[in-house]
């Protein structure tokens, strides 16, 4: 059976040969393509997702998982911005006190820093925290407030005898 073609150039219908009788266009390539066997077309309606999942599957589990991932990553970034950066931590640490200044052969001046106490200063300079009364005796204005020295106070730390 010969397929009748319509010329794509001049629109002449019912052409049985390989040449158009009106415009003499070569129709052999078009004839070869039209005589090819039909190819199976892909399925236009794919299966729904529910057909691919087990019957007892609940989509809420995926939604809960996705919400957890989103909240976890949002929380991570939120807390990462709240935690102090190294530059901020450096600003929180008080500036180092001036080095002890000698006051002759009897001792030196020491500026109190954050976290200092008389016993810690005695431990630092004498190696014994129980020698804090030596510092107290050299600084009589501290009597009555031995446990309440303030940052920035300048103390006289006498030499140990």
Kindly report the CATH number assigned to the domain that includes residue 114.
Answer: 3.10.350.10
Q: Which residue segment(s) compose the domain that 129 sits in?
A: 101-158
Rounded Cα distance between 90 and 82, Å, is 16
* Number of domains making up the chain: 2
Establish if 91 belongs to a structural domain: no
Establish if 52 belongs to a structural domain: no
Angle at the Cα of 76 (from 70 to 79), degrees rounded to 5?
135
> What ranges in 7-156 are assigned the alpha helix state H?
28-34, 49-52, 60-82, 86-92, 118-126, 132-138
Give residue-wise pLDDT tens across range 31-71. 888 888 877 777 677 777 667 777 777 778 888 999 999 99
Q: Per-residue confidence of the chain (161 residues) as pLDDT tens digits?
A: 678 888 888 888 888 888 888 888 888 888 888 888 877 777 677 777 667 777 777 778 888 999 999 998 888 877 766 655 554 444 444 545 555 666 666 788 899 999 899 999 999 989 999 999 999 988 988 888 888 898 998 998 998 76
Q: Find the farthest-apart pair of alpha carbons in the chain and give their distance in angstroms, rounded.
A: 130
Establish if 124 belongs to a structural domain: yes
Question: Helix or strand or coil: residue 108?
Answer: strand
């Amino acid at each position: 059976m010969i397929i009748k073609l319509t010329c794509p150039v001049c629109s002449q219908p019912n052409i049985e040969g390989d040449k158009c009788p009106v415009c003499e266009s070569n129709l052999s390539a078009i004839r070869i393509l039209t005589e090819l066997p039909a190819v199976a077309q892909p399925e236009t309606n794919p299966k729904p997702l529910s057909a691919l999942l087990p019957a007892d599957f609940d989509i809420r589990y995926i939604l809960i998982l996705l919400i957890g991932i989103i909240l976890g990553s949002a929380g991570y970034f939120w807390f990462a911005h709240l935690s102090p950066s190294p530059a901020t931590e450096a600003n929180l640490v008080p500036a180092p006190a001036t080095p002890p200044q000698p006051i002759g052969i009897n001792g030196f001046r020491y500026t109190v820093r954050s976290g200092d106490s008389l016993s810690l200063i005695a431990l630092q300079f004498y190696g014994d925290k129980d020698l804090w009364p030596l510092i107290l005796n050299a600084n009589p204005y501290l009597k009555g407030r031995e446990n309440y020295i303030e940052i920035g106070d300048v103390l006289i730390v006498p030499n140990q005898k």
